[in-house]
Structure 1
Amino acid sequence: MRGDGQAFALVESNTTGSGRLFAAAARERGMRPVVLTADPSRYPYLKHDSIDVRVVSTSEHDEVLAACELLSESDGLAGVTSSSEYFIGTATAVASAMGLPAGDAAAITRCRSKHHQRMVLSASGVPVPRFRIVSDVVQAVSAAADLGLPVVVKPSTGTGSAGVRLCHKLSEVDVFTRVLFDSAAATPVLVEEYVNGAEFSVEVFDDEVIGVVAKHLGPHPYFVELGHDFPAPLSGDVAAALGECALAALSALGVHWSATHTELRMSAAGPMVIEVNPRLAGGMIPALVQRARGIDLVDWVIAKAAGHPVSRRHSQESSAAIRFVQVQQEGVVRSVSGLAEAARSPGVDQAVITAAPGDQIRVTHSFRDRVGYVIATAEDAVRAGACAEEALAHLRVEVGGAGR
């Protein structure tokens, strides 16, 4: 259904993942999605899906507000949100200023700054890794020596594991923090103890735990997510402990509205919060939730932002898993293959390669290195994961003449 009612503003979008689904969900609810962006060329789906666009300097709150006020005057505006980590704060503040449904903009700001988030959680007694906030290389090396190696070094803003590294030596801390501080987007840096344990995320909507996701990470020293299983194959007690820890973090930060994505590690002492994200999960996690539980979290987020009722029922009990294709070298994509074989594999719902011959590939050691994926469903998460891995083995992306 093509939405032809009130406008629904989306401030920027995801270049990969769920951004396109946000616009589709708004249309399904009878609204007209309008993407506000500084550069429409970043989102090829806009033209393909005939989505209305307004070119706006989205880094400027006042310009986004003015664009939304014009939409409200001309068409009526049902809501404002963003599928992007970097613009959810702006979208929330604008919606609030216009009297539209919105969360707490101050709480979003606390979450978006990792060092402020850590300070709030630590002061509230929520378990987090020991950490230091540093503003130069000398402080970073001193902090690492004080905390004890290995340590994790990361920028205070960002998403998708970009700029995150495990350092086993003080010399590595020195070199890596120099890179971070020399970048154009230099911000305070977090140096924190490394928590050895399995990694999970807890997906929450309006203070209700939707479920726990098991994460599969690539090799150190990086933290690229290469797979997810939903629901995580855990005992009820462990899943409950992770959920309770996530809710405690959200309460401390004052985040109680719409979707949140909290990352944790299960340490020897119990759950420990790594990061709270005041937005819907990326990495195709919403697609896993929909396949496993029949819950459309993208639709829930759009409904919440438009003031529509949200049905909290789920329609099924199964499991889903995703595994990603990761590029290992830079260069030009020579060929892609294996899609038909992957799609025919047992349990597979979807097999996708997002790179095409001729594309220039740059290795970033972040989510941007993922150039395809397989989603599989089964009666339990272990089986779903095995099906996804079996199908993934068929996918090939040749870069610079070398295979994956």
Structure 2
Amino acid sequence: MPRLLLFIESNTSGTGRLFAQTARALGFQPVLISRQPSRYPYVAEDAVRSIEANTADLNVLRSLVRQLALSEGVAGITSSSEYFIATAARLAADLGLPGPDAVAVAACRNKATQRRRLDEAGIDRVRHAEITDAVDAVQAAIGIGLPVVLKPVAGSGSVGVRLCATMAEVAAHARSLLADPTCGALLVEEVVRGDEYSVEIFHDTVIGVTRKHLGALPHFVEMGHDFPAPLATAAADRIAGFALAATRALGLTWGPLHVELRLGEDGPHLMEVNPRLAGGFIPELVRQATGIDLIRATVELAVGRTPVVTPIRQEHAAIRFLTPPDDGLWFATEGLEAARGAPFLRDLRLYRASPLLIARRGDFQDRLGHALTSAPTLEAAVAAAELARCAIRFRVAADGTGTLATVA
């Protein structure tokens, strides 16, 4: 029986390590195929087998995967990185292994293509335009009406996503994004009003709805999540049905999906469909609240098993991210012991260590850590997460003085 479970590149925020650990727990040998395995610290720390290869070259990967299949046997191929899910799906299909529809995943990964397909299906009609230069961005914004959201057609983690309130901002942000040679096109969208949620779907079944909390505009940094979202049953069902209609219209019914939307006075409006597990430790919130392990379920599905995704408890979970108060030299952290005393705390961690130069980017990379809680009620889980967050203070020398500031 084949024992290798291949991972094409990895998530960098912690999920990649959990995928490898889960593969081992299920009796498989995780093998990370990466252009630079050393960029993932857990590979060395957990002694994960890795193979260095050009993961941007599908032919190179196909040759390597065939060799591994012939010499050792491959049980499954997947990825914890959104950027390589379509690649992993193509490789799995080559070997007749389980996986999502590679064409559907690739189309979904292009936000402009995704919008067009949803328009054609009549799912949601958020005004938008795909552009390739700053002049066209301004013209699109004139047609849509200010303010607009400007973002790359391919991306993740709110990287490059910005609210533009003036034509000058539209032109400047478009020029900035398009200066990156890897950014071929941008999407200009109307601003969707309302509270933000995400729907966590697994194998065409809704697992639950997450309430998302964002930082200050003009950026869209996710600062926290609550699961399950505090919604009336009718509203939750409406959101869930809307999300399923979107994923089915895109041909996505296999495995984990993460649908982001906003709920306005006229109902839900789609932000985007992601053909992957949620980021931001939402799978851990789901596990804490329901007992459903979406990472384990994804690994099981990738090797042809039938996972169980039935809730075994009904609790509530919350996460609050820790961010620096300013740019500058982060040289110390205070309040960690006090934060660890928060009730219902399940996980408190810093992703990086001081001293470190901080230059905030307005995306997920601004996060320095998190506090994650679970409790019998949402109110208790949220209060505990906020208590831990507020206890932590980062010392950042923004002006060379090293003044004390509470985490934003």
Out of 46, 57, 62, the residue aligned to residue 59 of structure 2 is: 62
Q: What amino acid sits opposite 1:302 in the alignment?
A: V
**What is the aligned partner in structure 1 of residue 348 from structure 2?**
351
Report 1:7-156 matches (<5 A).
7-156=4-153
State how far apart, in whole Å, the 2-side matches of 1:226 and 1:128 are.
28
State how far apart, in whole Å, the 2-side matches of 1:25 and 1:338 are.
33
Q: Which runs of 5+ in 2 are unaligned?
A: none
Q: 2:293·2:309 contact (CA, 8 Å) conserved in 1? A: no
Deviation at 1:197, TM superposition (A): 0.3
CA RMSD of aligned residues (A): 1.4
Is residue 337 of structure 2 the alignment partner of residue 340 of structure 1?
A: yes
Q: 2:261·2:271 contact (CA, 8 Å) conserved in 1? A: yes
Q: 2:17·2:42 contact (CA, 8 Å) conserved in 1? A: yes
State how far apart, in whole Å, the 2-side matches of 1:354 and 1:211 are.
27
State how far apart, in whole Å, the 2-side matches of 1:58 and 1:347 are.
41
1:49-91 deviation digits (Å, cap 9, x = unpaired): 0100000111111122222222212221110000001111111
**What is the aligned partner in structure 2 of residue 184 from structure 1?**
181
Secondary structure of the structure 1 residue equivalent to 2:261: strand
Out of 281, 285, 303, the residue aligned to residue 282 of structure 2 is: 285
Deviation at 1:188, TM superposition (A): 1.3
Out of 211, 229, 233, the residue aligned to residue 214 of structure 1 is: 211
State how far apart, in whole Å, the 2-side matches of 1:393 and 1:144 are.
39
State how far apart, in whole Å, the 1-side matches of 2:109 and 2:307 are.
26
| Matched-pair identity in % | 42
State how far apart, in whole Å, the 2-side matches of 1:327 and 1:250 are.
36
Moved >4 Å (runs of 4+): none
Q: 1:17·1:282 contact (CA, 8 Å) conserved in 2? A: no
Q: What amino acid sits opposite 2:179 in the alignment?
A: D
Q: What amino acid sits opposite 1:77 in the alignment?
A: V
Q: 1:339·1:353 contact (CA, 8 Å) conserved in 2? A: no
Out of 354, 371, 376, the residue aligned to residue 374 of structure 1 is: 371
Deviation at 1:290, TM superposition (A): 0.2
Out of 393, 400, 408, the residue aligned to residue 396 of structure 1 is: 393
Deviation at 1:140, TM superposition (A): 0.8
Deviation at 1:148, TM superposition (A): 1.0
**What is the aligned partner in structure 2 of residue 252 from structure 1?**
249
Out of 161, 164, 176, the residue aligned to residue 164 of structure 1 is: 161
Deviation at 1:349, TM superposition (A): 1.0
Q: 2:194·2:262 contact (CA, 8 Å) conserved in 1? A: yes
Structure 2 length-normalised TM: 0.96
State how far apart, in whole Å, the 1-side matches of 2:64 and 2:328 are.
40
Q: Which deviates further from its counterpart, 316-325 or 266-275?
A: 266-275
Q: Which deviates further from its counterpart, 345-354 or 203-212?
A: 345-354
**Cα 1:135/1:291, change in 2 over 3 Å:** same
Q: What amino acid sits opposite 2:185 in the alignment?
A: P
Is residue 236 of structure 2 the alignment partner of residue 239 of structure 1?
A: yes
Q: What amino acid sits opposite 2:7 in the alignment?
A: L
**What is the aligned partner in structure 2 of residue 274 from structure 1?**
271
Q: 1:128·1:274 contact (CA, 8 Å) conserved in 2? A: no
Q: What amino acid sits opposite 2:66 in the alignment?
A: E
Deviation at 1:339, TM superposition (A): 2.4
1:251-305 deviation digits (Å, cap 9, x = unpaired): 1100000000000001221011110000011100000000000000000000000
Q: Which runs of 5+ in 1 are unaligned?
A: none
State how far apart, in whole Å, the 1-side matches of 2:313 and 2:299 are.
22
Q: What amino acid sits opposite 1:306 in the alignment?
A: V
Structure 1 length-normalised TM: 0.97
Q: What amino acid sits opposite 2:244 in the alignment?
A: L
1:85-104 deviation digits (Å, cap 9, x = unpaired): 11111111111111111110
State how far apart, in whole Å, the 1-side matches of 2:363 and 2:125 are.
23
**Cα 1:141/1:357, change in 2 over 3 Å:** same
**What is the aligned partner in structure 2 of residue 204 from structure 1?**
201
Q: Which deviates further from its counterpart, 93-102 or 67-76?
A: 67-76
Q: 2:76·2:303 contact (CA, 8 Å) conserved in 1? A: yes
Q: What amino acid sits opposite 1:326 in the alignment?
A: T
Count of residue pairs the alignment pairs up? 401
Secondary structure of the structure 2 residue equivalent to 1:393: helix
**What is the aligned partner in structure 2 of residue 226 from structure 1?**
223
1:207-251 deviation digits (Å, cap 9, x = unpaired): 100000000000000000000000000000110011011001011
